[in-house]
């Protein structure tokens, strides 16, 4: 299904109140400040004018031009009428307004769907937080704007989505799109999954779901999307109490978690257990598509190397057995105190040259699929030196980096980020990232 | 064993090179800048002067006064002789120097121990990163200085310890002490465990170990310490490859992990699986001693409430069944869209009053042992308002807070921190914190 008119629109109309702080005002502000290059039309029957960040907009009393998307933040009971009124002029509507099936107003929601179907208008929502098409500079939501990148985030919960955008942004994740789909009365998670599987700017898809509208359709969408792109799923409502809570939150029948789990496994979706893992998986899939299970660990401190090893092995990864050739080549130039067995310990005074040459030698070992490079604050040299070594090293295999200790390695982490290399904060989180990459080998 | 002379010394002598950047210089700088109020004596046979941050020190050629602690960063082969020379004047020595048993120089280490025994000097190290006695303003290590608080960190790996200090400090953890004990040739993890169990400024003890020197002694120390204080343990070298790596790192025979695990369980130690969990457990035990298993979750967004519920239940916690009285009291003042079942959803426009009253009502429910309060960036009101509600609410039960979305809730998190309430970054990490508290109920 082509939903480009939602995520790359050339015109948008916003319906609601434009006093400062009101939802429609905040969405208008986000769209204007985000640099949207299409036509923007605020609409309120009272007319007037509104100024956002130095730009003045006339508030139209009604929509009188063909427009790709309407964003609607007016009282729920007026929405079906509005859809009937503007339906011939718009292709899609994002209904922010709450007060539909989620509080028992089934009839009103049915009416909304009927009017939309009559007019051939596609609906996102109602009761949602809006959408972003980041590459089209379209920020059609009151949530915080994010950096451009490869992750499409599909969230059943608007507030979860908003928090995830803000946190992901701070973690250095770039987004292609965001959609909060609320009650999913027309377009559902399955539609978005299919759409982003083909979206040219999306490298990976992340999904927060409590339950799905239509199990069969969801399975088909998974089957369609997973061979094309990594699909990361955070399924909430897995426990008994969690499932009950989900039901009162989004009205989702969370269903048996075992069925979901089986489907995720069968089609190679990446299931994560926690919100934080969602970010880590998103980070790694913005960098790499997949990797084999045999990893080499390079570190300047033994302890973190052991922690990474433990975690990797507990996840079924292999600590690669280095070839004789690799061991010989390392032994030739490394100081005798260094350990040339995997994990490779370059010890505390490891510098640019020691890291770079080790990465290049190990990267050529055919027993190694991927490299985990750990750095605790080096003594006597700045962390940027180690970052430069990682950037400069000639290595064709995926490298995941764990620079530890916040401020003390900030400059190194910053330099890596400028080159698109994202940092994982602990050895264990870095090891887990390889696990997710390895799941894609099978797909 | 009284080790106060190490952690609350009244005098310290530092042996080594005092050119800028050298280890002894960095330790001297840390001690001087940290505000140590006792006598500080830098010592090097060449004599001279050294300036650190505006203060001038005469470098003595030898030690000629009684001194609590010597910190030694001179070539390994000279250390036993130095101990013999100064042994009558010092009570303890922290030997930073490397080059002993960890690289096969067993004989040199044996000599060091013998000299120390002859003179009745206690040794920390060798091959260690030093010690902090934070409440005595004594920063006898080159690692980054930390804020004063209740956590004593005992680390077999110096670099791990250093990274953990820096990261913990940024996470808002306060420290009472730090000890990196290296080869543990005299004092071991067991001695420190016993000492901190009785230290007046230590509220919780965190231990990073790869292996222990003496299993029997360690069990006895655990048995002694755990009834007095929470003992958090991160055991590295659990997996097959991890155990091998530990052996080449600290020479530890990591031993069968099952034996460790059984001991941790039997004596109620808090075993954490990852470095990040070590911080989270430390954070929660700086605030609370223990809590029961029945938790109430209060949130302004359904999704995170469901995620917390899932995690709590998967860890064996109970989502408390609220009493009829509580439900009635909540129903009376909460808007009808709010869910008064646990997790309690105060919905997006929840303000100061709604949070405060809910916390107070739920805090009185005898079915509830502890409260998890979640806040995603509230709409229309600043996050400080919610922080204030949590601070002002009269509630005698442990409250753990999860304010989500980084910058968007920064002001609220800051206000909470000023009152000693530490923030957990995700709903799942907050739920896990209750799990650790609940383990202490049994001790």
Quote the ipTM score: 0.94
Determine, for residues A302 and B245 on separate chains, whether the beta-carbon distance falls below 8 Å.
yes
Mean pLDDT of B361-385: 93
Tokens of A254: 């969370």
Computed over every residue of chain A, the mean pLDDT equals 95
Q: Which residue among B156, B162, B379 sits closest to A377, beta carbon to beta carbon?
A: B162
Instruction: Say whether B249 and A305 touch across the interface (CB within 8 A).
Output: yes
Are the beta carbons of A159 and B302 separated by less than 8 Å? Answer: yes
The pLDDT confidence band at residue B1, using thresholds 50, 70 and 90, is confident
How far is residue A403's CA from residue B129's CA, in Å, rounded to a whole number? Answer: 19
One DSSP character per residue, A140-171 reads EESSPP--EEEEEEEESSHHHHHHHHHHHHHT
Residue B255 in this model has a pLDDT that exceeds 70 = no
At residue A255, the pLDDT reads: 65
Chain A and chain B share a number of CB contacts under 8 A equal to: 215
What is the predicted pLDDT for the residue at A442?
A: 76
Residue B227 tokens read as 């009834």
Rounded average pLDDT over A213-239: 94
- Of the residues A21, A307, A335, the best mutation for testing chain B's interface (the one with the most B CB atoms within 10 Å of its CB) is A307
Q: Do the Cβ atoms of B74 and B15 come closer than 8 Å?
A: yes
What does the pLDDT read at residue A103? 87
Residue A234 CA from chain centroid, whole number: 11
pLDDT (tens digit, 9 = 90+) per residue, A326-361?
Answer: 999 999 999 998 999 999 999 988 999 999 999 999
- A304 CA: distance to closest CA in chain B (Å): 6
Q: How many other C-beta atoms lie within 10 A of the C-beta of residue A283?
A: 24
Q: What is the pLDDT of residue B253?
A: 61
Give the Cα separation of A322 and A327 in Å (integer).
Answer: 7
Across the interface, whether the CB atoms of A404 and B163 are under 8 A apart is answered: yes
C-alpha distances in angstroms, A67 versus A88, A180, A239, B224, B318?
A: 10, 21, 44, 74, 51
Provide the percentage of residues in chain A whose pLDDT is more than 70.
99
Is A254's pLDDT higher than 60?
no
Please check whether residue A105 is in contact with residue A169, taking contact to mean a CB–CB distance below 8 angstroms: no
pLDDT for residue A378 is more than 80: no
Contact criterion met (CB < 8 Å) for A341 and B244: yes
The mean pLDDT value for A391-417 works out to 94
- Longest CA span, chain A: 80
Predicted confidence at residue A380, as pLDDT, reads: 74
Exposed / middle / buried, residue A58 (Cβ in 10 Å: 0-12, 13-18, 19+)? exposed
- Chain position carrying tokens 């902090």: B132
Task: Determine the 3-state secondary structure of A399 from DSSP.
Answer: strand
CB contact under 8 A, A407 and B170: yes
Residue of A nearest to B244 (CA): A306
List, as own/partner pairs, every contact residues B310-314 make where C-beta atoms lie below 8 angstroms and the sequence separation is at least 24, other chains included: B310/A236, B310/A237, B310/A238, B310/A239, B310/A242, B310/B428, B311/A274, B311/B427, B311/B428, B311/B431, B311/B432, B312/A239, B312/A241, B312/B372, B312/B431, B312/B434, B312/B435, B313/A239, B313/A240, B313/A241, B313/A242, B314/A238, B314/A239
pLDDT, tens only, B13-52 = 999 999 998 999 999 999 999 999 999 999 999 999 999 9
Name the β-bridge partners of B72: B15, B95
A238 neighbourhood in chain B, CB within 8 Å:
310, 314
Q: Which residues of A touch B170 (CB under 8 A)?
A: 406-407
Chain B positions touching A425 (Cβ under 8 A) are 167, 276
Given an 8 Å threshold on Cβ–Cβ distance, is A306 in contact with B170? no
Please give, rounded to a whole number of angstroms, the shortest distance from the CA of B265 to a CA of chain A: 20
Burial (CB count <10 Å: 0-12, 13-18, 19+), residue A282: buried
- Smallest CA-to-CA distance from A181 within A129, A222, A115, A109 is with A129
A144 to chain B: which residues are within 8 Å by CB? 405, 408
The rounded distance, in Å, linking the Cα atoms of B201 and A411 is 35
Q: What is the mean pLDDT of residues B218-227?
A: 96
Task: Summarize the confidence of residues A61-80 as an average pLDDT.
Answer: 97
**pLDDT confidence bin for B286, thresholds 50/70/90:** very high
- Taken in order of first residue, the domains within chain B and their CATH numbers are 1-127 (3.40.50.720), 143-287 (3.40.50.261), 290-439 (3.40.50.261)
As a whole number of angstroms, the distance between CA B15 and CA B63 comes to 9
Please tell me the predicted confidence (pLDDT) of residue B405.
Answer: 84
Q: What is the pLDDT of residue A179?
A: 98
Contact criterion met (CB < 8 Å) for B303 and A240: no
Nearest by CB to A306, which of B237, B307, B380? Answer: B237
Helix, strand, coil shares, percent, chain B, to 5: 40, 20, 35
The confidence score (pLDDT) of residue A51 equals 96
How far off is chain B from A303, nearest CA to CA, in Å? Answer: 6
pLDDT over 90 for what percent of chain A?
86
User: Is pLDDT at B250 greater than 90 in this prediction?
Assistant: no
pLDDT of residue B55: 92
pLDDT tens digits for range B396-439: 999 999 999 888 899 999 999 999 999 999 999 999 999 999 99
In the prediction, which pLDDT does B252 show?
66
A163/B377 touch (CB, cutoff 8 Å), yes or no: yes
| Contact between chains at B311 and A245 (C-beta distance less than 8 A) | no
Tell me which chain B residues have a C-beta less than 8 angstroms from the C-beta of A145: none
pLDDT at B443: 74
Higher pLDDT, B256 or B338: B338
In contact, B137 and B13? CB cutoff 8 Å: no
Task: Quote the pLDDT of residue A253.
Answer: 61
Spatial neighbors of A54 by CB under 8 A, at least 6 apart, are: none
Residue A403: its H or E element: strand A399-403
CA distance, residue A22 to nearest chain B CA (Å): 9
Distances (CA, A) of A359 to A267, A329, A385, B17: 34, 12, 14, 34
Q: How confident is the model at residue B244 (pLDDT cuts 50, 70, 90)?
A: confident
Q: Which of A249, A302, A305 lies at the smallest CB-CB distance from B302?
A: A249
Chain A partners of B379 at a C-beta cutoff of 8 Å? 142
pLDDT at A202 > cutoff 70: yes
B254 has pLDDT over 80? no
pLDDT digits (tens, 9 = 90+) for A273-296: 999 999 999 999 999 999 999 999
Phi, psi dihedral angles at A319 (to 5 degrees) = -80, 105
Who among A312, A345, A407 is closest to B249 (CB)?
A345
């Amino acid at each position: 299904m082509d939903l480009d008119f939602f995520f790359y629109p050339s015109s948008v109309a916003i319906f609601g109140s434009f006093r400062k702080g009101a939802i429609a005002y905040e969405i208008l502000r986000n769209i204007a400040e985000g640099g949207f290059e299409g036509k923007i039309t605020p609409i309120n029957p009272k007319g007037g004018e509104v100024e956002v960040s130095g730009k003045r907009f006339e508030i139209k009393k009604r929509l009188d031009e063909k427009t790709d998307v309407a964003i609607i933040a007016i009282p729920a009971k007026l929405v079906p009428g509005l859809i009937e009124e503007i339906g011939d002029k718009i292709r899609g509507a994002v209904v922010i307004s709450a007060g539909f099936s989620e509080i028992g107003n089934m009839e009103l929601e049915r009416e909304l769907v009927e009017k939309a179907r009559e007019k051939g208008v596609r609906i996102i929502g109602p009761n949602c937080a809006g959408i972003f098409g980041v590459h089209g500079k379209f920020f059609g939501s009151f949530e915080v704007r994010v950096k451009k990148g490869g992750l499409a985030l599909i969230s059943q919960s608007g507030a979860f989505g908003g928090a995830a955008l803000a946190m992901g942004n701070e973690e250095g994740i770039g987004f292609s799109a965001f959609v909060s789909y609320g009650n999913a009365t027309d377009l559902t998670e399955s539609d978005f999954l299919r759409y982003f599987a083909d979206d040219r700017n999306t490298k990976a898809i992340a999904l927060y779901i409590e339950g799905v509208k239509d199990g069969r359709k969801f399975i088909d969408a998974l089957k369609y999307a997973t061979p094309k792109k990594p699909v990361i799923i955070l399924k909430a409502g897995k426990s008994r109490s969690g499932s009950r809570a989900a039901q009162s939150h989004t009205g989702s029948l969370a269903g048996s978690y075992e069925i979901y789990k089986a489907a995720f496994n069968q089609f190679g979706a990446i299931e994560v257990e926690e919100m934080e893992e969602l970010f880590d998986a998103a980070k790694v899939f913005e960098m790499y598509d997949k990797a084999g299970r045999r990893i080499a660990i390079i570190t300047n401190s033994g302890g973190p190397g052991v922690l990474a090893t433990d975690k990797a092995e507990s996840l079924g990864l292999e600590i690669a057995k280095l070839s004789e050739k690799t061991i010989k080549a390392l032994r030739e130039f490394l100081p005798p105190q260094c350990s040339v067995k995997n994990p490779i310990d370059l010890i505390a005074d490891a510098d640019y040259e020691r890291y770079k040459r080790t990465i290049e030698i190990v990267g050529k070992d055919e027993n190694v699929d991927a490299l985990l490079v750990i750095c605790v604050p080096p003594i006597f040299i700045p962390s940027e030196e180690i970052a430069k070594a990682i950037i400069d090293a000639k290595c064709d295999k995926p490298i995941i980096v764990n620079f530890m200790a916040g401020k003390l390695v900030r400059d190194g982490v910053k330099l890596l980020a400028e080159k698109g290399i994202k940092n994982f904060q602990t050895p264990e989180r870095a090891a887990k990232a390889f696990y997710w990459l390895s799941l894609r080998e099978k797909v």
